[in-house]
């Protein structure tokens, strides 16, 4: 490339080409600061180590500005953001279960939704493949606060019960294309197949931590 054309490209495009490590959309700096301030204010988070933030019902637009959405059931409409000391990385995903498991819960009390809060996760495995192999993922290190949709109305509210403890609510890649459906029975799922570059980057950003913080927050608290 002729160097005299570089200024025409614009600072934003040039930064994207030179960084080479980000997947998909970026989050604007102002919104990252809002997230950090929320974490510091509510949980005394320092963000000095890789930290995962799940924002329910909010996604970045084409300019990287976080916007709230309808948070409809069965949609990939949540932001999963890994924040390191020097950077932030956005991944599309879901923090909510798919419709299949809401209508056909694995637990008699209803399908779980991870509630807003600060949790700790560590490396582990999720399920088994048809060949009997476990999938590398992240599993809870701390207790979790969940709410179970006992009336199967796809709304987790005051009519539903809260539970605290260790549950099989992992962080993993998706199994099938399309809507969320069977990809999540309450797990946090990155919209990326297990062998994709997107999942590999997400996994690589967190895999070297003995344990890492996972802050779950409703979009209305940030946007």
pLDDT at 24: 55
Q: What is the 3-state secondary structure (H, E, C) of the chain?
A: CCHHHHHHHCHHHHHHHHHCCCCCCCCCHHHHHHHHHHHHHHHCCCCCCCEEEEEECEEECCCCCEEECCCCCCCCCEEEEEECCCCEEEEEEECCCCHHHHHCCCCCCCEEEECCEEEEEEEEEECCCCCCCCEEEEEECCCEEEEEECCCCCCCCCCCEEEEECCCCCEEEECCCCCCHHHCCCCEEEEEECCCHHHHHHHHHHCCCCCEEEEEEEHHHCC
Is 90 exceeded by the pLDDT of residue 19?
A: no
For residue range 127-139, list pLDDT tens digits in order. Answer: 765 556 789 999 9
For residue range 102-145, list pLDDT tens digits in order. Answer: 999 999 999 999 999 999 999 999 976 555 678 999 999 999 99
Range with lowest mean pLDDT among 37-41, 76-80, 133-137: 133-137
């Amino acid at each position: 490339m002729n160097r005299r054309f570089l200024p025409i490209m614009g600072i934003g495009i040039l930064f994207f080409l030179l960084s080479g490590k980000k997947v998909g959309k970026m989050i604007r700096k102002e919104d990252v600061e809002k997230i950090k301030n929320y974490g510091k204010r509510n949980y005394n988070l320092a963000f000095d180590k890789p930290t995962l933030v799940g924002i329910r019902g909010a996604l970045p637009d084409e300019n990287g500005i976080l916007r709230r959405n309808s948070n409809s059931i069965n949609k990939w409409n949540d932001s999963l953001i890994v924040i390191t000391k020097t950077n932030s990385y956005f991944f599309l995903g879901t923090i909510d279960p798919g419709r299949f498991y809401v209508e056909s819960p694995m637990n008699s009390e209803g399908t779980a939704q991870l509630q807003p809060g600060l949790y700790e996760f560590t490396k582990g495995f999720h399920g088994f493949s048809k060949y009997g192999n476990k999938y590398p993922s992240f599993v809870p290190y701390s207790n979790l606060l969940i709410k179970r949709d006992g009336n199967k109305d796809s709304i987790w509210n005051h009519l539903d019960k809260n539970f605290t403890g260790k549950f099989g609510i992992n962080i993993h890649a998706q199994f099938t294309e399309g809507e969320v459906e069977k990809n999540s029975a309450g797990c946090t799922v990155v919209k990326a197949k297990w062998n994709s570059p997107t999942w590999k980057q997400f996994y690589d950003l967190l895999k070297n931590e003995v344990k890492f913080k996972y802050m779950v927050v409703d979009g209305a608290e940030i946007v």
